Amino acid sequence: MLRLPWFEYRAPSTLAEAVKILAGEGPQAMLVAGGTDLLPNMKRRHQSPKVLVSLKGIAELRKLNGGYGAGLTLAEVVAHAATPSALRQAAAQVATAQIRNMGTLGGNLCLDTRCTYYNQTEEWRKAIDYCLKKDGSVCWVATASKRCVAVSSTDTAPALITLDAKVKLVGPAGEREIPVEALYQNDGIDYLSRKPDEVLSAVVIPSGWRSTYWKLRRRGSFDFPLLGVAAALKMDGDVVTDARIALGAVASRPFRVDKAGHFLKGKRLTDEVIAEAATLVANRAKPMDNTDMDLYWRKEVADDFAGYALKELRGDDMRAVRIRTARYLPG
Amino acid sequence: MNETKKRLDVIGMPRRRVDARSKVTGQLRFADDLALPRMLHAKLLRSPHPHAIVEAVDAEKARQHPSVKLVLTGQDFPVPFGIMPVSVDEYPLARERVRYVGDPVAAVIAVDEQAAVEALALIEVRYQVLRPVSGPQDGLEHPEPRIHDYGEQGNIHRNQAYEFGDVDEALRNADFVAEDLFFYEGNTHLPMEQQASLAFLDQDGKLQISSSTQNPHYLHRQLARVLQVPESRIRVIATPNGGGFGGKCDPGGHEFVVCKAALVLGRPVKIGLTREEVFYVHRGRHPVLLKMKTGVTKEGKLTGMHLQTLLDGGGYGSHGPASTFYTGVLTPVTYHYPRFKFEACRVFTNKPACGPKRGHGTPQPRFGQEVQLDKIAERLGMDPLELRLKNLTKAGDLTASWLRVGSTGLEDCLRKVGEMSSWKAQHGKLEKGRGVGLACSTYMSGAGVAIYWNKMPHSGVQVLLDRSGTVVVYCGATEIGQGSDDVLAAIVAETLGVDTGSVRVVSGDTGITPVDLGSYSSRVTIMAGNAAVQAAERLRASLAAAVCETLGTLPDRVVFSQGKVFAADNAGAGMSFVEAVTMAEAQLGTLSAVGSYSPPKPPGRYKGAGVGPSPAYSFSACVVEAEVDERTGWIHVPKIWIAHDIGRALNPVLARGQVIGGVYMGLSEAMMEEQSFRRLPEKLSGALVHRAPSMLDYKSLTALDMPEVEVALIEDPDPNCPYGAKEVGQGPLLPVMPALANAIFDAVGVRVDEIPVTPDKVLRALEAKAAGKAARVGPESYPSVPYPEPIFVLPPWEGGDGNESRKGGEKRAAAAMV
């Protein structure tokens, strides 16, 4: 089997202790929560931290009052009755049941960016002389690119962006709160604005949004997203009073499509309005050939998925489409 | 006793399979579960280059690693191996040349796996990189550098042509000729179990290996050859395989490595391959480009077919010579083609070797044939089911190529699947976006000829009885999850009138079981099964002779049923099976009998006629329902119906499981599986790598993605088969792929002439259709392939005798005059 590299394992029981260890060890330390992303990546030598700081034993990270503790498992987030639709749907469609039982909300938000030239073993990457993201000098997706274009594959982030959620980051200097969108940078290598000595501790989600999340992938049973569309609306009768739409898996970060949100404000969700909004959303989808399936096709169907999301929020019965495309029905 | 009069007690009853308990409880020990005291661990260093000369291997630093016991390189293995005698072209560790990324170059044997991995990094290999061949067209265009110094020419490994009657004439005389190009992408077996092997020297100093292999007998022979150890000093135990599907048929480099290391070190040595390594060992489905020309009359009768295939072989021969034949030879078994021409070419490329995967070489032409028939039906305005019924081969027929079609239930399969799926009410009649597609197939119940030439039986079985009433069945057949142990237990239990609980099966151990050639070509049920029937019948005759006097009847009037032995006309009296065994053992001594099986001689006599014949063919017909979203091309399959002519289901639970498993694998191939490769930009890199050697990124369906599958088993016992049972392991996979493609056409009127059928291809075809272009996606051209002059054989109905006509041209002229 693939073997992990050697590492030192630390298991603090408080957030303060974790922050202290991080500050002391510097960049050679990494945080691990569920380990469902990091440990396979370590086996492939994407990361070889000297010290792993486990967040498992920190009770504060598993709280559910005021905000969602970053250490809650995705299964717990799904099971929690008050979880908003978009987040529940996104969390429910991450990987498999087994992984959702281990993987955490914070872990999914901090998920390493992915690329078909990167998510391979050390031996495989050696055979292509590595790539820009790790140990190499060329981006094989776009050989002229100076920037790594690895794709953000978190499902929960676009959902939380539409919900106008914020994340809490705890560091040596104390706690700060930033919008989820601000956690990300459009760089496949340096994709998080989290400082190395900070711990993402909680997510704070305002209420009042009607929201949904649609995920495109080849297999409904489990896969990373090829496209994630999250949408949240506030309505007055059948008129949209506020709208937030976000995309995942089409850039190195999840992002909000402001144009579409502005466009929807004050409108009724007619077929024409939905079609136009969907086009505005799709125009921002610029997928690269760094994940599964045909790149042009992924671009072409972005408006369809944006349309599905808005139609579902309008109240259309979208269950048949859900089953066909995702083998998933929101509970 | 007249067998037909006895009611069957075990055969045909739905039963829990004999190995179910150990599998469900986890007691069963797969190769990787094995451990021995003082066991060492092996890891392989693999080539990072697709094509290179190995100039030097410096392993000194690795040898000095404190945990390392041994380092092996190509120099330790001077003798090559190869599953087929005509393609012995592979070394356990590369000697002078590496031929794909992942080709093993050196092995480290250390005290634990972690240390072995560390030491691999200390080995320095100097390569001289050569131009890689990325595909068969590339190989045809670049005969140099050659990947191997044998083969037909340049990078062509196998090149062959056969013509059964004048096909040009048959096409000329047709009302029209359908001409199509198809492409079938390669894919791999994806068994749950990754290969593992453990080798050690037993108490007598003899070599023993427990390995996840489908073919312990062939492995045994190859080990003796490569290691230069007499066969009598080797014992191969095939551990229960966690799935095989053809991927564990070839001997693997790792098996020789652990055996060699155990011989050198005198300690047990184990290896377990990673999933990535399993993708490199491969031996899976060949990517095949096909050109198919079929003559048709206005009435829908087929007049002949000209089939050309081009196979991407990968870096080694493997089963390739057989695979090349199989891209053609079974094509004329389902439908009657008065004439048939078949040309095939396999090209070496710098990728993992292709070989046998479930259906071995036949899904590719079957896909083309069944999609083309759908197109022909459309052109004729005929129901595709009716077109097929019109052209079926009949029981006992010979094909133009001299294959004997034994029993056939294909007509029943077609009618049954038509009825189950309400075909007539659905095909062409569903609302836009929904459709149904039909396809048929056939497969061999065992290949008629062994992989190496010999006149011995293909399978042997020994049955031993003792006074406890226990029946022990010894057979070299290998349980790879398909249920071969259950089949053997059921056959012996039925014949001796006991239940399977009294039967213990000892299988797949070349040290103690009679030879069986292995679990490939769907041969175990019929071949080992027939041998088991013979052994058990011999024992039954002994028992009957021993007890008949006591029962006051004649030996052939003794009935064995449900653990009792009694006279046919006095069922109330009699004795228990145990009493009968006791009585017989007292009279005759220890009770044992052997049985063996050799398939009948095939009717064809031309060179190459050995590939394709089988004692019995299974048949399947399948309907796939598809829903297609015209805006996205998204494909959803809500339901599949399949009817399979199995002869007889020995255990219907197992048989249905095999059918559904085949449908699963077929649908997964049809919709997404691709063993495809990346050639990085030539100016920047020489890399040619597998796109996705992991179970996450190599896309396959899961149980959650599966539609409902409705199965009908068509049972009409085949006289050549044990209790009439034909194969079920491979056949039901084959019609699924073309049935899906045909369903897509029925739903939205576009053709995807290539596998896999994916949403992006459907959408591209829909866009082409909307733009007024051909509503099709698929290969656009067929390269120029230097096929040889065909071997010409007259079909049976044109006066042929099964031999090659010495002068094809003359015979052709003579045939034209007739």
State the DSSP string of B447-516.
-SS-SS---S-SEEEEEEE-TT--EEEEE----SSS-HHHHHHHHHHHHHT--GGGEEEEESBTTTS--B
Residue B3: pLDDT band with limits 50, 70, 90: very low
pTM higher than the cut 0.90:
yes
Interface test mutation site (partner B, options A93, A122, A324, max chain B beta carbons within 10 A) = A324
**CATH 3.30.465.10 domain locations along chain A:** 59-204
Judged by CB atoms closer than 8 Å, whether chains meet at A124 and B690 is answered as yes
Q: How far apart are CA B816 and CA B812, in angstroms?
A: 6
Cβ-nearest to B272 among A1, A222, A324: A1
Residue type, A31: L
Residues 6+ apart with CB under 8 A from B101: A124, A127, B46, B47, B48, B49, B50, B280, B687, B688, B689, B690
Residue B1: pLDDT band with limits 50, 70, 90: very low
| Residue B632 C-alpha, separation from nearest chain A C-alpha, in angstroms | 6
Q: Does residue B306 carry a pLDDT above 50?
A: yes
Asked if A320 is an interface residue toward chain B (Cβ–Cβ < 8 A), one would say no
Q: Which residues of B touch A121 (CB under 8 A)?
A: 274, 276, 693
Candidates B336, B362, B375, B434; CA nearest to B735 is: B362
Q: Which residues of A touch B632 (CB under 8 A)?
A: 300-301, 304
Cβ-nearest to B113 among A3, A129, A324: A3
Helix (H, G, I), strand (E, B) or coil at B807: coil
Q: Does residue B4 carry a pLDDT above 50?
A: no
Confidence at residue A66, expressed as pLDDT on a 0 to 100 scale:
81
Candidates A165, A169, A168, A149; CA nearest to A157 is: A165
Read off φ and ψ for residue A167, nearest 5 degrees. Answer: -110, 145
Q: Which range, of B4-13, B353-362, B417-426, averages the lowest pLDDT?
A: B4-13
Q: Which residues of B touch A219 (CB under 8 A)?
A: 672, 699, 701-702, 705
Q: Which run of H or E residues covers position B676?
A: none
**B637: nearest CA partner in chain A:** A324
Helix (H, G, I), strand (E, B) or coil at B10: coil
Q: State the DSSP code for B329.
A: T
Judged by CB atoms closer than 8 Å, whether chains meet at A219 and B701 is answered as yes
Are A227 and A249 in contact by the 8 Å Cβ rule? The answer is yes
Q: How far apart are CA B802 and CA B791, in angstroms?
A: 12
On the 0-12 / 13-18 / 19+ scale of CB atoms within 10 A, B139 is buried
How far, rounded to the nearest angstrom, does the alpha carbon of residue B360 sit from its chain's CA centroid? 5
Q: Which run of H or E residues covers position B261?
A: helix B253-265
Judged by CB atoms closer than 8 Å, whether chains meet at A324 and B692 is answered as no
Are B229 and B528 in contact by the 8 Å Cβ rule? The answer is no
How far, rounded to the nearest angstrom, does the alpha carbon of residue B664 sit from its chain's CA centroid? 16
Confidence at residue B813, expressed as pLDDT on a 0 to 100 scale:
54
Q: Is the dihedral of CA A249, A255, A259, A263 positive or negative?
A: positive
Q: How far apart are CA B334 and CA B545, in angstroms?
A: 46
How far, rounded to the nearest angstrom, does the alpha carbon of residue B495 sit from its chain's CA centroid? 29
Residue B539 neighbours by CB distance under 10 Å: 25
Judged by CB atoms closer than 8 Å, whether chains meet at A219 and B114 is answered as no
Q: State the DSSP code for B697.
A: T
Cis omega (within 30 of 0) for bond into B240: no
Judged by CB atoms closer than 8 Å, whether chains meet at A3 and B705 is answered as no
Q: Tens of pLDDT along B797-808? A: 999 999 999 655
Q: How far apart are CA B579 and CA B670, in angstroms?
A: 56
Q: Tens of pLDDT along B677-706? A: 999 999 999 999 999 999 999 999 999 999
On the 0-12 / 13-18 / 19+ scale of CB atoms within 10 A, B230 is exposed
Are B11 and B647 in contact by the 8 Å Cβ rule? The answer is no
Q: How far apart are CA B208 and CA B262, in angstroms?
A: 9
Judged by CB atoms closer than 8 Å, whether chains meet at B687 and A116 is answered as no
Query: Tokens 């992006």 identify what position?
Result: B760
- Residue B390 region by backbone torsions, left for phi larger than 0, else alpha for psi between -120 and 50, else beta: alpha
CA distances from B693 to B93, B215, B699 (A): 21, 25, 10
Judged by CB atoms closer than 8 Å, whether chains meet at A127 and B691 is answered as no
Give a three-class secondary structure readout of B348-380: ECCCCCCCCCCCCCCHHHHHHHHHHHHHHHHHH
Confidence at residue A177, expressed as pLDDT on a 0 to 100 scale:
98
Judged by CB atoms closer than 8 Å, whether chains meet at B113 and A222 is answered as no
Supply the Cα-derived Rg of chain A in whole angstroms. Answer: 20
Are B804 and B793 in contact by the 8 Å Cβ rule? The answer is yes
Asked if A296 is an interface residue toward chain B (Cβ–Cβ < 8 A), one would say yes
Judged by CB atoms closer than 8 Å, whether chains meet at B276 and A119 is answered as no
Judged by CB atoms closer than 8 Å, whether chains meet at A304 and B763 is answered as no
Cis omega (within 30 of 0) for bond into A49: no
Confidence at residue B5, expressed as pLDDT on a 0 to 100 scale:
54
Q: Which residues of B touch A301 (CB under 8 A)?
A: 631-634, 759, 763
Confidence at residue B816, expressed as pLDDT on a 0 to 100 scale:
52
Q: Which residues of A touch B692 (CB under 8 A)?
A: 116
- The DSSP bridge partners found for residue A236 are A239
Confidence at residue B446, expressed as pLDDT on a 0 to 100 scale:
97
Judged by CB atoms closer than 8 Å, whether chains meet at B692 and A327 is answered as no
**A126: nearest CA partner in chain B:** B48
Helix (H, G, I), strand (E, B) or coil at B771: coil
Q: What percent of chain B has pLDDT over 90?
A: 97
Q: Does residue B709 carry a pLDDT above 60?
A: yes
Q: How many CB pairs under 8 A join A and B?
A: 92
Query: Per the structure block, which two tokens stand in for A4?
Result: 């992990």
Q: Which residues of B touch A142 (CB under 8 A)?
A: none
How far, rounded to the nearest angstrom, does the alpha carbon of residue B436 sit from its chain's CA centroid? 28
Are A247 and A254 in contact by the 8 Å Cβ rule? The answer is yes
Q: Tens of pLDDT along A166-224? A: 999 999 999 999 999 999 999 999 999 999 999 999 999 999 999 999 999 999 899 99
Residues 6+ apart with CB under 8 A from B507: B238, B473, B474, B475, B476, B477, B478, B479, B484, B485, B488, B513
Are B313 and B347 in contact by the 8 Å Cβ rule? The answer is yes
Are B612 and B325 in contact by the 8 Å Cβ rule? The answer is yes
Confidence at residue B806, expressed as pLDDT on a 0 to 100 scale:
66
Q: Which residues of B touch A92 (CB under 8 A)?
A: none
Q: How far apart are CA B711 and CA B643, in angstroms?
A: 6
Judged by CB atoms closer than 8 Å, whether chains meet at B689 and A124 is answered as yes
Q: Tens of pLDDT along B113-163? A: 999 999 999 999 999 999 999 999 999 999 999 999 999 999 999 999 999
Judged by CB atoms closer than 8 Å, whether chains meet at B634 and A324 is answered as yes
Judged by CB atoms closer than 8 Å, whether chains meet at A221 and B704 is answered as yes
Judged by CB atoms closer than 8 Å, whether chains meet at B758 and A293 is answered as yes
Residues 6+ apart with CB under 8 A from B656: B649, B711, B713
Cβ-nearest to B705 among A3, A127, A327: A327
Domains of chain B: 3-28+457-597 (3.30.365.10), 35-130+192-243+248-281 (3.90.1170.50), 160-187+284-448+606-777 (3.30.365.10)
Q: Tens of pLDDT along B566-589? A: 999 999 899 999 999 999 999 999
Are A210 and A85 in contact by the 8 Å Cβ rule? The answer is yes
Are B257 and B271 in contact by the 8 Å Cβ rule? The answer is yes
Give the CATH architecture of domain A210-326: 2-Layer Sandwich (3.30)
Give a three-class secondary structure readout of chain A: CCCCCCCEEECCCCHHHHHHHHHHHHHHEEEECCCCCHHHHHHCCCCCCCEEEECCCCHHHHCCCCCEECCCEHHHHHHCCCCCHHHHHHHHCCCCHHHHHHCEHHHHHCCCCECCCCCCCHHHHHHCCCECCEECCCCCCCCCCCCCCCECCCCHHHHHHHCCCEEEEEECCEEEEEEHHHHECCCCCCCECCCCCCEEEEEECCCCCEEEEEEECCCCCCCCCCEEEEEEEEEECCEEEEEEEEEECCCCCCEECHHHHHHHCCCECCHHHHHHHHHHHHHCCCCCCCCCCCHHHHHHCHHHHHHHHHHHHHCCCCHHHHHHHHCCCCC
Judged by CB atoms closer than 8 Å, whether chains meet at A296 and B702 is answered as no
Q: Given CATH 3.40.50.970, say whether it is the number of domain A59-204.
A: no
Confidence at residue B196, expressed as pLDDT on a 0 to 100 scale:
98
Q: How far apart are CA A18 and CA A29, in angstroms?
A: 11
Side-chain half-sphere exposure of B336, counting CA atoms within 13 A: 17
**CATH 3.30.390.50 domain locations along chain A:** 210-326
Asked if A118 is an interface residue toward chain B (Cβ–Cβ < 8 A), one would say no
Residue B814: pLDDT band with limits 50, 70, 90: low
State the DSSP string of B548-592: HHHHTS-GGGEEEETTEEEETTEEEEEEEHHHHHHHHHHHHSSEE
Q: How far apart are CA B188 and CA B279, in angstroms?
A: 7
Residues 6+ apart with CB under 8 A from A32: A38, A39, A52, A53, A54, A55
| Residue A206 C-alpha, separation from nearest chain B C-alpha, in angstroms | 34
- Below-50 pLDDT ranges, chain A: none
Query: Tokens 């299974």 identify what position?
Result: B618
Q: Which residues of B touch A127 (CB under 8 A)?
A: 48-49, 101, 687, 689
Confidence at residue A331, expressed as pLDDT on a 0 to 100 scale:
74
Q: Which residues of B336-370 are buried (b: 16+ CB within 10 A; e: fewer)?
A: bbbbbbbbbbbbbbbbbbbbbbbbbbbbbbbbbbb
| Residue A301 C-alpha, separation from nearest chain B C-alpha, in angstroms | 6
